[in-house]
Amino acid sequence: MTSLVSVIVSGGAGTRLWPLSRELAPKAFMRLPDGETLLGKTAKRALSPPGVGELLTVTNRELYFRTKDVYAELGDRKPRAASYILEPFGRNTAPAIALAAMAVEAHHGGDAVMLVLPADHLIADRDAFVAAVARAAELAADQMLVTFGITPTRAETGFGYLECGDALDNSDRAPAAFRVRRFVEKPDQATARSYVAAGNFVWNSGMFCFTTAAILAALKRHAGTLLGAVERCADAIRSADASMMEIDPDLFASVPDISIDYAVMEPAAAAGEVAVVRGTFDWTDVGSWQAVAELEAADSDGNRGHGERVSIATRNTFVHADDRVVATVGVENLAIIDTPDALLVANRDALQRVREVVTELKTRGHDAAREARTVLRPWGAFTVLHEGPGFKVKRIEVKPGAAISLQLHHRRREHWVVVAGTATVTRGDEVFSVETQDSTHIPVETKHRLENSGAAPLVIMEIQCGDYLGEDDIVRFEDRYGRAK
């Protein structure tokens, strides 16, 4: 029986969802109104078609442990066989899919069918999705490159489109499948209206289905340079241990940054090699704050939101309030996203331009483009509560059974107060316990480690003092998460 491997591509920074989405906390990990993450929902959907034997996730090395935590939250529905390709940095979807195809071919053969899903989509109708996957797998077995199209519900300018050509069979079976005539870039409003009126255009969902042999052959035909560059990175993905495949950063730096649409699907469509299954399921690309707003119920004035809000003479406004009350008076058509370290106020008609804020922040070298005030680590998380000249105050939470690396700092000393749990502290040659409401200190140039040997989270307050308090003032000697050089 042909293997079916679901592949989740999880690497987009979600710049249009700043400030909730950051480079080190991208939108796939955002909590939706029901408490689930986009990645968790995608994983459950990826495992739903019959015959799926494995879940392969292509993601950034720094997101590996957080991804595993999301999958662990799925409980009985978590993948029985999970593997990971860990990129050192992003190179778009074409390299990610090429790496995945090489890995699946190495471990399952050239006839194995890959179902490729972005990590940040929402689909509620699981049965219709499974039916579309079954149809796509049939076409993929015939060596077609298959994508999934969504019937437009509006003249959307934020999505790409596919033009459907001839039907691939004469039956009335659903879902219908067509040969793709061409891929079309995001249109202007008038063009989008004409596509919807024409009836043979669908939204390009960015989901794919093909055998490893078919996609690798297409890469060779249409993107040989890309394939050659990815081939040079392939040793890790063909190793005996297929559970965690890390890509060498020096080799990966030479790989072109290009999408699978540009590299393969567009020229393949022109050559008649691409089919589209016209999905009958609902589909949301959670790519902007407008899409997030639509997940919330509107009040009688069209206002939506999350968190503590007060709306006075306010219309058609979306408010996301993280941890404080947000009040609006006499405004309309706004999106207001309030987080502990950044505030976004935008006209709802200009939300596609939020990515320009991230570009500007990167130009300025501002940390707000990369990470939030709460920073996740493999062992837990820390939140910067307050800082000033010569000091910084953090809240640190260590997961049960986890530990920070054995490390030292050259330019700061640290004071730790345990507020929940019991800490096992290594300080120089000493190893001792610190109970709740007790404290200890770590001098400059002293090797130290904080460990949680208990069954509940360990929470400490850390006060740093010194002439430099940057996160790069750290030397790791031992680390169970592979971060020690």
* CATH code for position 434: 2.60.120.10
Confirm whether 369 is domain-assigned. no
Residue 101 is assigned to a structural domain of this protein: yes
Mean pLDDT across the chain = 92
Work out the pLDDT band at 253, boundaries 50, 70, 90: very high
The answer, yes or no, to whether residue 257 has pLDDT greater than 80, is yes
pLDDT at position 239: 67
Q: Quick one: 43 and 115 in the same domain?
A: yes
Residue 425 has pLDDT above 60, yes or no: yes
Is 358 a domain residue? Answer: no
Res 234: pLDDT: 85
Over the stretch 347-398, which tens digit does the pLDDT of each residue have?
999 998 999 999 999 999 998 988 888 888 899 999 999 999 999 999 999 9
Are 26 and 141 contained in the same domain? yes
Model confidence at 241, pLDDT cuts 50, 70, 90, reads low
Residue 158, domain member (yes or no): yes
Place of tokens 């990645």: 39
Task: Read off the pLDDT of each residue in 289-310 and give the average, rounded to a whole number.
Answer: 93
Residue 237 is predicted with a pLDDT of 76
Q: Picking from 33-37, 289-293, 299-303, which range would have the lowest pLDDT averaged per residue?
A: 33-37
Q: Taking 70 as the threshold, does the pLDDT of residue 286 lie above it?
A: yes
| Positive or negative: CA dihedral 407, 411, 415, 418 | negative
Residues 412 and 466 in one domain: yes
Residue 175 DSSP one-character state: S
CB 252 within 8 A of CB 87: yes
Q: Bigger pLDDT: 184 or 287?
A: 184
Q: Rounded CA gap, 105 and 79, in Å? A: 20
Q: Are 94 and 243 found together in one domain? A: yes
Based on the structure, what is the number of domains in the chain? 3
Q: Which residue has the higher pLDDT, 418 or 295?
A: 418
pLDDT, average across residues 333-348? 95
Cis peptide bond N-terminal to 389, omega within 30: no
What pLDDT score was predicted for residue 434? 96
Query: How many angstroms separate the Cα of 236 from the Cα of each of 79, 231, 367?
Result: 22, 11, 32
Residue 184 maps to a domain:
yes
Peptide bond into 95 cis (omega under 30): no
Residues 256, 324 share a domain = no
Reported confidence tier of residue 287, pLDDT bands at 50, 70, 90: confident
Domain boundary among 259, 285, 311: 285
* Domain shared by 225 and 326, yes or no: no
**Which residues touch 86 (CB under 8 Å, ≥6 apart)?**
59, 60, 61, 64, 244, 245, 246, 247
Q: Can you give the pLDDT at residue 169?
A: 76
For tokens 């001839």, what's the residue?
166
Task: Decide: helix, strand or coil at residue 118.
Answer: strand
Report the relative pairing of strands 244-246 and 334-338 from DSSP bridges. unpaired
Q: Pick the last residue of a domain from 236, 257, 285.
A: 285
Which class for 451: exposed (0-12), middle (13-18), buried (19 or more C-beta within 10 A)?
buried
Beta bridge mates, 210 = 114
Q: Is 288's pLDDT higher than 60?
A: yes
Same domain, 48 and 137: yes
Q: What is the mean pLDDT of residues 407-413?
A: 96
Residues 154 and 114 in one domain: yes
Residue 9 covered by a domain: yes
Percent of the chain with pLDDT over 90: 74
Of residues 113 and 158, more confidently modeled: 113
pLDDT in tens, 230-239: 999 987 777 6
Please compute the mean of the pLDDT values over residues 192-196 and round it to a whole number: 91
Residue 128 has pLDDT above 60, yes or no: yes
Reply yes or no on whether the pLDDT at 45 is more than 90: yes
Based on the domain organization, do 275 and 301 belong to the same domain?
Answer: no
Query: Residue 170 — very low, low, confident or very high, per pLDDT cuts 50/70/90?
Result: low
Give the domain extent around 434.
374-478
Question: 172: pLDDT confidence band, cut at 50, 70 and 90?
Answer: low
In a domain, 485, yes or no: no
Which region, left, alpha or beta, applies to residue 282 given φ > 0 means left and ψ of -120 to 50 means alpha?
A: beta
Q: Which of 71-80, 210-219, 335-344, 437-446 has the lowest mean pLDDT?
A: 71-80
Q: Are residues 276 and 306 in the same domain?
A: no
Label residue 1 by pLDDT band (50, 70, 90).
very low
pLDDT at 125: 92
Q: Is residue 145's pLDDT more than 80?
A: yes
| Residues 150 and 222 both lie in one domain | yes
H helices, E strands: number in the chain: 12, 29
- What CATH number should be reported for the domain holding residue 204? 3.90.550.10
* Whether residue 45 is found in the same domain as residue 70: yes
Query: Does residue 52 form part of some domain?
Result: yes
Q: In angstroms, what CA-CA distances link 336 with 30, 289, 330? A: 17, 9, 14
Of residues 114, 9, 107, 16, the one with CA closest to residue 63: 9
pLDDT of residue 242: 67
Place of tokens 């039956």: 171
Q: What is the pLDDT of residues 153-163, one digit of tens each?
A: 888 888 899 99
Structure-model confidence comparison of residues 78 and 257, the more confident one:
257
Q: Give the pLDDT mean for 186-212.
A: 93
Of 285, 319, 336, the last residue of a domain is 285
